[in-house]
Amino acid sequence: MNNDITVKSWTELQDALFSNSWDPALGRYRSSFVYRGLSDVDHTLKTSLMRLGGSFEALEGHLLRNFRKYARKDRVTQDMNTIWNLLALAQHYGLPTRLLDWTYSPYVALHFCTSELNLFDTDGVIWCVNYVKNNEFLPHRLRYILSEEGSNIFTAEMLQIACTTIKEFDTLQKAEFVVFLEPPSLDERIVNQYALFSLMSNPNALLDEWLISHPELFFRIIIPASLKWEIRDKLDQANITERVLFPGLDGLSKWLRRHYSPK
């Protein structure tokens, strides 16, 4: 892919991760990119809803309706009662949705690129997407809301102003588009992973295919398999581990199992 940068060392990796982060308007290093790390360079940006297979697009409403119906009432509170908060909550707890997980942190993305020891013989990849420039392709109604709020990222409340259902969202404009959505701080995992989601206007649309048709919005950093162990060890030293990113006994157990696994 023309937008790929293959790094050969830890130093080259740092330069690539933090490239284009200088904001001359602010006079600060404030990146306009979000990141998604994948352990295998050949993995696509396929949603968990797509991975269900079959007529998955017809199941989206059923999944969300039943998630709301069967979820504990102390989790689906009145504040969570918009479709966008519900969608974020469902994604967070593993329900198949059209959302994809992203992070503002390049090091969190690196963690997910190097967390699967069984794929350390496989090149990984970090997708880097300019979420600010992406807003140029949004429907007018959504761009107006961002402008009024003085924001570059949507919250559930901001999306609710534009549309109250997923069907309405899908019909905001004929051309496909992608929105980046910050979830509420549901728990420490959301906070520690510096997480946000992408949301496409068509459940059948593959984000990587859409990005390839808009090459000015992204680049990819290819992580050679030969570099993964060095990256993993340095991330562990920097405390970018499952113990931090997945607070609780499950994250602690994942970290210890990986930490004590032989090379």
Q: Could you tell me the pLDDT band of residue 74, with boundaries at 50, 70 and 90?
A: low
In the predicted model, is pLDDT for residue 96 greater than 90?
yes
> Of 39, 37, 61, 38, which is closest to residue 49 (Cα–Cα)?
61
Res 80: pLDDT = 60
- Given CA atoms 191, 207, 167, 147 in this order, what sign does their dihedral have? positive
Res 109: pLDDT = 98
What is the pLDDT of the chain when averaged over all its residues?
A: 93
Instruction: Kindly state the average pLDDT of the residues 178-193.
Output: 90
Percent of the chain whose predicted confidence (pLDDT) is above 70:
97
pTM attached to this predicted model = 0.93
Separation CA 160–CA 75 (nearest Å): 20
Instruction: Kindly state the average pLDDT of the residues 86-94.
Output: 90
Q: What is the maximum span of the chain, computed from C-alpha positions, in angstroms?
A: 54
Burial zone of 258 (CB within 10 Å; 0-12 exposed, 13-18 middle, 19+ buried) = middle
CB 20 within 8 A of CB 129: no
Res 163: pLDDT = 94
Q: Could you tell me the pLDDT band of residue 71, with boundaries at 50, 70 and 90?
A: confident
Res 79: pLDDT = 53
Separation CA 40–CA 225 (nearest Å): 9
For residue range 105-147, what is the model confidence (pLDDT) as tens digits?
999 999 999 999 999 999 999 999 999 999 999 999 999 999 9
